[in-house]
Amino acid sequence: MKLFTRCCILLALWLLLGGNAMAHKVNLFAYVEAGTVYTESYFPDGRMVENGKISVYDSADKLLLEGKTDNEGLFSFPVPAVDDLTIVLDASMGHKSSFKLKKADVEAGK
């Protein structure tokens, strides 16, 4: 009986803590096509990130540009440099994600 009680307590803690970690998850995907970088941002439940702040950095961590996602979670911009790019999404309230585009992928999509 004690083993069953301990297992139930551990399961409850795991579920509570696991759910809390997922509460701050947000997804960001990016790709390059015809000289434009396209981003898509959404929450695990499928809702789009509206007005999320997008920041783009080069391989030296220099800020290249900033913008905001639209009501469909989309943001696009011309390739700012043929370099490794780090795209950071801040969807507020602790929801943050980043996506790295390799220089080869940027070059291929230019």
Residue 19, number of CB atoms within 10 A of its CB: 9
Tokens 């997922």, residue? 22
What is the rounded distance in angstroms from the CA atom of residue 27 to the CA atom of residue 108? 24
* pLDDT above 90 coverage of the chain, percent: 70
> Domain 25-109 maps to which CATH number in 1.20.120.1200, 2.40.10.10, 2.60.40.3580, 3.30.70.20?
2.60.40.3580
Residue 91, number of CB atoms within 10 A of its CB: 24
Above 70 in pLDDT, residue 13? no
What is the rounded distance in angstroms from the CA atom of residue 108 to the CA atom of residue 47? 31
Residue-wise pLDDT for 16-70, tens only, equals 554 444 456 899 999 999 999 999 999 999 999 999 999 999 999 999 999 999 9
Contact predicate 48/83, CB 8 Å: no
- Beta bridge partner(s), residue 88: 55, 98
